[in-house]
């Protein structure tokens, strides 16, 4: 078993028109000690300066079709590390995050896990504060409540055994977390007691409470057998293109 400091972490960031969010995300990754083995930004055809910003911050850029599942699988296929950390483009790591991932995955029987969640605008919404707090409570520590904004991490060997993310337009993150939890048994999925900070921009546009209701309905309908493709129409948010300033 590799010691914590020997595990090479590849950070995979799916992105689409994220030139404004990426600098903070990449800077937080670069500030980690020990450093990431590599940072891979998977661009799905951005119309702004996403790729240029990524390269300027030292990331490797690969391309993929649109959709986080396809993008994350493409990034994983290009990665060389022992550990894959899937990080949203608008989510930042706190100091010690990669060290925490290495430590958790050096423990016997561990295969992967996720972080706790904090929103960058919790002072604007009680619902956001409650939502984030739930990720820190033992009662809610189940892979059935883990979405991609919590920065899922996994050993690359396990990712290959699970055949990666199912290439669905929605819920690929929850599905993967649940399969990872089943694969590793009770101790295989680790809930790292560290926060990641994610943007609340979409939630504030829609309304945190309304979005939580929509998310819950989507998950329940999925459990009842409705396909992700059918459910995709419930999740119709489209980020505006943010043109590069000249």
Tell me the C-alpha distance between 99 and 122, whole Å.
Answer: 26
Query: What is the C-alpha to C-alpha distance for residues 182 and 173, in angstroms, rounded to an integer?
Result: 14
Name the DSSP letter for residue 169. S
Name residues of the chain where pLDDT drops below 70.
1-5, 234-246
Position 40 scores a pLDDT of 98
pLDDT at 240: 42
* Cα end-to-end distance, the chain, whole Å: 51
pTM, entire model: 0.89
pLDDT in the model for residue 206 = 76
Task: Report the Cα 30 to chain-centroid distance in Å.
Answer: 17
The pLDDT value recorded for residue 208 is: 76
What is the model's pLDDT at position 245?
Answer: 46
Segment holding 62, helix H or strand E: strand 60-63
Q: Which two tokens stand for residue 27?
A: 């800077």
CA dihedral for 25, 30, 33, 36, sign (positive or negative):
positive
Distant-in-sequence, close-in-space partners of 88: CB < 8 Å, separation ≥ 6: 13, 14, 25, 148, 149, 151, 198
The CB-side HSE value for 18 (13 A sphere, CA atoms) comes to: 24
Which SS3 state, helix, strand or coil, does residue 19 take? coil
Residue 213: predicted pLDDT = 84
- Structure-token pair, residue 30: 């670069």
**Residue 3: predicted pLDDT:** 59
């Amino acid at each position: 078993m590799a010691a914590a400091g020997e595990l090479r972490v590849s950070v995979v960031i799916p992105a689409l028109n994220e030139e404004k969010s990426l600098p903070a995300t990449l800077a937080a990754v670069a500030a980690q000690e020990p450093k990431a083995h590599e940072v891979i930004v998977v661009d799905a055809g951005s119309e702004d300066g996403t790729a240029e910003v990524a390269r300027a911050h030292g990331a490797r850029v690969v391309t993929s079709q649109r959709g986080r599942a396809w993008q994350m699988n493409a990034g994983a296929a290009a990665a060389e590390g022992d550990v894959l950390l899937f990080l949203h483009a608008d989510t930042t790591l706190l100091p010690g995050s990669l060290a925490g991932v290495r430590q958790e995955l050096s423990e016997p029987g561990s295969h992967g896990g996720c972080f706790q969640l904090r929103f960058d605008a919790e002072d604007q919404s009680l619902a956001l504060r409650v939502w984030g707090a739930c990720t820190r409570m033992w009662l809610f520590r189940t892979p059935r409540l883990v979405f991609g904004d919590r920065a899922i991490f996994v050993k690359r060997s396990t990712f290959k055994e699970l055949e990666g993310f199912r290439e669905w337009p929605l819920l690929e993150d929850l599905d993967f977390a649940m399969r990872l939890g089943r694969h590793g048994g009770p101790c295989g999925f680790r809930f790292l007691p560290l926060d990641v900070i994610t943007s609340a921009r979409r939630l504030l546009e829609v309304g945190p409470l309304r979005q939580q209701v929509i998310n819950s309905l989507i998950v329940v309908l999925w459990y009842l057998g409705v396909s992700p493709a059918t459910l995709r129409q419930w999740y119709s948010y489209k980020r505006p293109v943010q043109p590069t300033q000249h």
